[in-house]
Amino acid sequence: MEKIRKEFPVLRKGIYANTAVYGLLYDSLLDWRQEHDLDFLIDGSDMRERSLKVISETRSAIGKFFNCKRDNVALVTNFSSGLNILLEGLDANKRVLLVNDDYPSLNWSFENRGFDVSYVSMAVDLEERINEAVVGGHIDVLALSLVQWMDGFAIDLEFLKKLKKENPDLIIIVDGTQFCGSANFDFKNSGIDVLGASAYKWLLAGYGNGFMLFSDQVKNCFSINNIGFNAADGDYDKKNNIRFAKKFEPGHLSSLTFGSLKYSIDFFERIGMDKITAHNHKLSKKAKTEFEKMGLLSERIVQRKEHSTIFNIKADKATFQKLKDNDVFCAQRGEGVRLSFHFYNTEAEIDAIVNILKNG
Model pLDDT for residues 134-193, shown as the tens digit of each residue: 999 889 999 999 999 999 999 999 999 999 999 999 999 999 999 999 999 999 999 999
Residue pair 246/74 in contact by the 8 Å Cβ criterion: yes
Low-confidence stretches of the chain (pLDDT < 50) are none
d(CA 193, CA 216): 8
Amino acid 233: pLDDT: 85
Q: Clarify whether residues 244 and 136 are in a common domain.
A: yes
CA 217 to chain centre: 23
Amino acid 360: pLDDT: 61
Q: Clarify whether residues 240 and 328 are in a common domain.
A: no
| Domain assignment of residue 278, given as a range | 2-25+273-359
d(CA 74, CA 248): 6
Q: Clarify whether residues 142 and 266 are in a common domain.
A: yes
Last residue of a domain, one of 233, 250, 270: 270
Amino acid 1: pLDDT: 75
Q: What Rg, from alpha-carbon coordinates, does the chain have?
A: 21
Amino acid 142: pLDDT: 98
User: Burial of 198 by CB count in 10 Å (0-12 exposed, 13-18 middle, 19+ buried)?
Assistant: buried
Helix, strand, coil distribution of the chain in percent, nearest 5: 45, 15, 40
Taking each helix axis as running N to C, give the angle between helix 79-87 and helix 104-111, from 0 to 180 degrees, rounded to the nearest 10. Answer: 20
CA 75 to chain centre: 14
Domain count within the chain: 2
Q: Clarify whether residues 212 and 71 are in a common domain.
A: yes
Please give the model's pTM, rounded to 2 decimal places.
Answer: 0.96
Sheet holding 73-76, edge to edge: 73-76, 210-214, 194-198, 171-175, 141-145, 95-99, 116-120
Instruction: Tell me the backbone φ, ψ of residue 252, rounded to 5 degrees.
Output: -60, 145
DSSP notation for 194-223: EEEEESSSTT---TT-EEEEE-TGGGGG--
Q: Clarify whether residues 80 and 189 are in a common domain.
A: yes
Distances (CA, A) of 338 to 175, 261, 316: 19, 26, 11
Amino acid 93: pLDDT: 95
d(CA 343, CA 197): 19
Last residue of a domain, one of 270, 287, 314: 270
As beta bridge partners, residue 336 has: 314, 333
Last residue of a domain, one of 252, 270, 288: 270
CATH of the domain at 287: 3.90.1150.10
DSSP class of residue 154 equals B
